């Protein structure tokens, strides 16, 4: 798990990749009619905006290299993504 979280550090360097995941999940969620996947996609888009603001130093004044916030953000993103993917793969229930 630690190795996976460390690999997520690529989003620090390339926040556009996080935005791409967000757009992909929103699009798939709309296509499949899955609100959960759309919400997870929006979460990824918000994270991409946050990471972009951190990269441009809008949200930190000096030492942006020590990112304790990611110890909370990355596991939450992973958990949300799993929930979103499960919602996309789940079969649609018949009405009634």
Q: What residue spans define the domains of the chain?
A: 11-88
How far is C-alpha 87 from the geometric centre of its chain's CA atoms? 15
- pTM over the 0.75 mark: yes
Instruction: Measure the CA–CA gap between 19 and 44, rounded to whole angstroms.
Output: 6
CA dihedral 85, 86, 89, 95 (to 10 degrees): -130
End-to-end, the C-alpha distance of the chain in Å comes to 41
| pLDDT on residue 8 | 84
Q: What's the pLDDT tens digit per position in 24-68?
A: 999 999 999 999 999 999 999 999 999 999 888 888 777 777 788
In whole numbers, what is the pLDDT of the chain averaged over residues?
88
């Amino acid at each position: 798990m630690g190795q996976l979280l460390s690999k997520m550090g690529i989003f620090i360097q390339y926040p556009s990749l996080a935005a791409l995941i967000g757009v992909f999940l929103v699009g798939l969620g709309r296509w499949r009619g899955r609100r959960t996947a759309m919400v997870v996609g929006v979460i990824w888009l918000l994270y991409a905006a946050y990471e972009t603001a951190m990269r441009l130093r809008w949200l930190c004044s000096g030492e942006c290299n020590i990112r304790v916030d990611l110890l909370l953000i990355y596991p939450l993103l992973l958990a949300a993504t799993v929930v979103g993917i499960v919602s996309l793969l789940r079969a649609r229930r018949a009405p009634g």
